Amino acid sequence: MKCEFVKTNGEPCQANALPDKTLCFWHDPGNAAKRAQARKKGGHNRQTRKGENHGPYAILSVADIMTALNDALNDAALLENSHARSRSIGYICQIMLKGLEVGEIEKRLEALEQRIGGNHNGHRKTHQRT
């Protein structure tokens, strides 16, 4: 059933009436407080800064992965506080911690390769047995 409210221009409201009511959410006087809350929340959501479009990413190193994860972490931090947001932030931090560990190992391996005369373009020397 449609709302029975008639607009000032004489046209009927096109919204569906609430169950067991003759008026819609927007015209039922009993919903004034809920309407005010919905308007306030809608205005707040429009003002909330959303994440930037960071991509596309070229993932060629641990540093590139860390940059992508850092952007994802910053975007997740802007979401409305919820369990899903908290889980996302925790998961991203867990992955970032692993990335820091791998990055540190990568740096140490490069330093060792340089000390023993390894090649500098990211490829390891392979030793052939004679």
Query: What is residue 26's predicted lDDT score, i.e. its pLDDT?
Result: 81
pLDDT, tens digit, for every residue of 7-31?
A: 889 999 988 888 888 988 888 888 8
Look at residue 95 and tell me if it is in a domain: yes
Instruction: Report the DSSP beta bridge partners of residue 2.
Output: 16
Token reading at 3: 């709302």
Per cent of the chain over pLDDT 90 is 24
Q: Are residues 43 and 80 in the same domain?
A: no
Asked if residue 29 belongs to a domain, the reply is: yes
Residue-wise pLDDT tens digits, 38-94: 777 765 554 445 556 666 778 888 888 888 899 889 988 888 899 999 999 999 999
Asked if residue 68 and residue 33 are part of one domain, the reply reads no
Host domain of residue 29: 1-48
**Any domain includes 120:** no
Q: What pLDDT, on a 0 to 100 scale, did the predictor assign at position 18?
A: 84
Residue 85 is assigned to a structural domain of this protein: yes
**39 and 67 co-located in one domain:** no
Q: What is the mean pLDDT of residues 104-113?
A: 91
User: Omega before 56 cis (within 30°)?
Assistant: yes
Considering the domain boundaries, does residue 108 fall inside one? Answer: yes
**Count of structural domains within the chain:** 2
